Amino acid sequence: MRHGMSRRELLVAGGAGATLLAAGGYGISKLLAGDPPAGSSHELVVRATTGDVELGSKTATTWTYDGALPGRELRARQGEPVAVRLVNDLPEPTSIHWHGIRLENSMDGVPGMTQDPVDPGDEFVYEFVPPDAGTFFFHTHVGTQLDRGLYAPLVVEPRRERLSYESEQILMLDDWLDGIESNPDAKLAELQGSGMEGMDMGSGGDGSGGMDMEGMSMDVMRGGREHTGLDGGPAARGSLARLANDLERGALDPGDVPDYPLYLINGRPPEDPFQIVIGKGERMRLRLINPSADTIYCLFIEDHELEIVSADGNDVVPRRTDAILIGMGERYDALLDGRGGGASRVVAMPLGKQGVAAGYLRYRGSTGAAPPMNAPIEMPVRVASYGDLQPLDPASSSAGDPRVIRLDLGFDDPYSWSIGGQLFDGSDPIRVARGETVRFTMKNRTPMPHPMHLHGHSFTVGGPGGPLKDTALAIPRRELTLDWVADNPGVWAYHCHNVYHQESGMMRRVEVV
Ligand code: C2O
Ligand code: CU
């Protein structure tokens, strides 16, 4: 029985064997930008549309770009123009935000701030020149639409690639309920209608063991090991390793939707697992993107190390780790060396929640059965934190004497989330002079982590020498500092990337004038 699978394993893994044999050539279909012949219009079309997606044994009616989940990958080149025509076939207004791209304000895709919403039946052409290479994504910026399927990867290729690797793979992680259980608007109404009692404040998961609802949600036994820092020592206070431990043991609140029926890797649940194919001795670049609405993951590949080379599209001094903690809106690039054999599970553990996003890493040419999806998972030990990352180019880290702007994060009943004591509606704009160096200092006065995202700029996390990012997790009861140079004029959104928080006050306008 060494390579055999029990009936239950087969049910849970959902015909993984067949997928493993067939999936050698899987790739996300691509939209290629760049090199438009001068004078011609080389325009890509992205259609926001309603339709069905297959999620393992279930079909969900939802909203996607072009019927694909995730939407087709957009490939652009650093410094070369991109033109995308958004066609809105949805029953509601929508827009596209180019998350992490330091573009011109009018193309940023925030209705009510940088453009009018694109009404049903209408179109809007986005044109910009991406100044930075790296891993980005694009998504709707209207209401709770992000918790449907309106997201896709955006990769900007550098003028000259500095890293060497043989292959690359994008992994997009998602928490899914739309069309399976409820929908994001109903979820928001439920949250806004509930008081603190309904919110599971500070209690974490319900501890109800593994669940397997109609074969959909899948849980695995999680090893009881505590995450450590990269040095193997106990997770330091304020580190992401410590955050992972605190979320897993229920000491902090993981999010407002503890019961997503599915977690996906590239649109695939564990019962129909996504598969990465690698050759022995091959080096692969992974591009990790978390477009989830409410879920922070700890991502790892069993029996493999990951080498972080970039954070939110900004190169960092390479660091080896076992696992990467990734909040909503964050991206990491990591190199993976094909030093194993057979197949290993790729696991993205939704921290503090039941269920798992999981797929396989499969060695090309190997024929054995993959490990069953539901086998107990030993959580890896070392988790990288922001403090472990330094910009590859030290000059890109903030310098100088910032003007400090205090913007504590708060919660109030009924369900509302604030920045600097203000809810978005009617809030004061945060005014910054063009060229000014600014420090946002935030104490998170809530029991939940918030991935804070600034549009149109990058910031240095945790003071001089810290990594350059555009989204960073504010850890409960800790202070987070984001230093940035206001070099991009316009009106920019600054918000929590939890879509339910963003829709319940946790956003501000930043005016760079
Ligand atoms: Cu990806 Cu305003 O967000
Ligand atoms: Cu939040």
Number of Cβ within a 10 Å radius of residue 428: 9
What is the whole-number distance in angstroms between the Cα of residue 473 and the centre of ligand 2? 9
Q: How far apart are CA 87 and CA 85, in angstroms?
A: 6
Q: Which atom of ligand 1 is nearest to the CA of 495?
A: 2
Q: Which ligand is nearest to the CA of 471?
A: 1
pLDDT (0 to 100) of residue 378: 79
Q: Which atom of ligand 1 is nearest to the CA of 139?
A: 1
Largest CA distance in the chain: 69
Number of Cβ within a 10 Å radius of residue 281: 9
Which residue, among 252, 227, 251, has the nearest Cα to 240 in the 3D structure? 227
What is the whole-number distance in angstroms between the Cα of residue 365 and the centre of ligand 2? 44
Q: Residue 169 corresponds to which tokens in the numbers above?
A: 């793979």
pLDDT (0 to 100) of residue 375: 87
Q: Tell me which amino acid residue 25 is.
A: G
Q: Which atom of ligand 1 is nearest to the CA of 146?
A: 1
Q: Which ligand is nearest to the CA of 292?
A: 1
Q: Tell me which amino acid residue 459 is.
A: F
* Cα-based torsion angle of the residue sequence 141, 147, 148, 153 in order, rounded to the nearest 10 degrees: 70
Residue nearest to atom 3 of ligand 1 (CA): 99
What is the whole-number distance in angstroms between the Cα of residue 338 and the centre of ligand 1? 34
Walk along the chain (513 residues) and give the pLDDT tens digit of each residue.
Answer: 233 333 222 222 333 332 332 333 334 567 777 554 444 457 899 999 999 999 999 999 999 999 999 999 999 999 999 999 999 999 999 999 999 999 999 999 999 999 999 999 999 999 999 999 999 999 999 999 999 999 999 999 999 999 999 999 999 999 999 999 999 999 999 999 965 444 444 333 333 333 343 434 566 667 667 899 999 999 999 999 999 999 999 999 999 999 999 999 999 999 999 999 999 999 999 999 999 999 999 999 999 999 999 999 999 999 999 999 999 999 999 999 999 999 999 999 999 999 999 999 999 999 888 889 888 887 788 999 999 999 998 877 666 789 999 999 999 999 999 999 999 999 999 999 999 999 999 999 999 999 999 999 999 999 999 999 999 999 999 999 999 999 999 999 999 999 999 999 999 999 999
What is the whole-number distance in angstroms between the Cα of residue 424 and the centre of ligand 2? 13
In the beta sheet, which residues pair with residue 349? 298
List C-alpha distances in Å: 33 to 99, 125, 163: 17, 14, 22
pLDDT (0 to 100) of residue 370: 87
Which residue, among 396, 393, 389, 400, has the nearest Cα to 466 in the 3D structure? 389
pLDDT (0 to 100) of residue 396: 75
**Structural contact between residues 347 and 405, judged by C-beta atoms closer than 8 angstroms:** no
Number of Cβ within a 10 Å radius of residue 188: 21
What is the whole-number distance in angstroms between the Cα of residue 444 and the centre of ligand 2? 10
What is the whole-number distance in angstroms between the Cα of residue 124 and the centre of ligand 2? 29
pLDDT (0 to 100) of residue 294: 98
pLDDT (0 to 100) of residue 23: 31
What is the whole-number distance in angstroms between the Cα of residue 271 and the centre of ligand 2? 30
Q: Residue 318 corresponds to which tokens in the numbers above?
A: 């390479």
Long-range contacts of 337-341 (CB under 8 A, 24+ apart): 337/281, 337/282, 337/283, 337/284, 337/304, 337/305, 337/307, 338/278, 338/279, 338/280, 338/281, 338/282, 338/283, 338/284, 338/363, 339/280, 339/281, 339/304, 340/303, 340/304, 341/280, 341/366
Q: Which atom of ligand 1 is nearest to the CA of 502?
A: 2
Distance of CA 166 to the CA centre of its chain: 24
In the beta sheet, which residues pair with residue 412? 416
What is the whole-number distance in angstroms between the Cα of residue 267 and the centre of ligand 1? 20
Q: Which ligand is nearest to the CA of 496?
A: 2
What is the whole-number distance in angstroms between the Cα of residue 115 and the centre of ligand 1? 15
Q: Which ligand is nearest to the CA of 453?
A: 1
Q: Which ligand is nearest to the CA of 499?
A: 2
Number of Cβ within a 10 Å radius of residue 409: 24
Q: How far apart are CA 42 and CA 39, in angstroms?
A: 9
Query: Which secondary-structure segment (H or E) carries 74?
Result: strand 73-77
Q: Give the binding-site residues of ligand 1, using a 6 Å CB cut-off.
A: 97, 99, 139, 141, 329, 453, 455, 493, 495, 497
Q: Which atom of ligand 1 is nearest to the CA of 471?
A: 1
Q: Which atom of ligand 1 is nearest to the CA of 100?
A: 1
What is the whole-number distance in angstroms between the Cα of residue 5 and the centre of ligand 2? 42
Q: Which atom of ligand 1 is nearest to the CA of 493?
A: 2
Q: Which atom of ligand 1 is nearest to the CA of 110?
A: 2
Q: How far apart are CA 72 and CA 63, in angstroms?
A: 14
What is the whole-number distance in angstroms between the Cα of residue 498 and the centre of ligand 2? 5
pLDDT (0 to 100) of residue 379: 74
Residue nearest to atom 1 of ligand 1 (CA): 99
pLDDT (0 to 100) of residue 224: 64
Q: Which ligand is nearest to the CA of 475?
A: 2
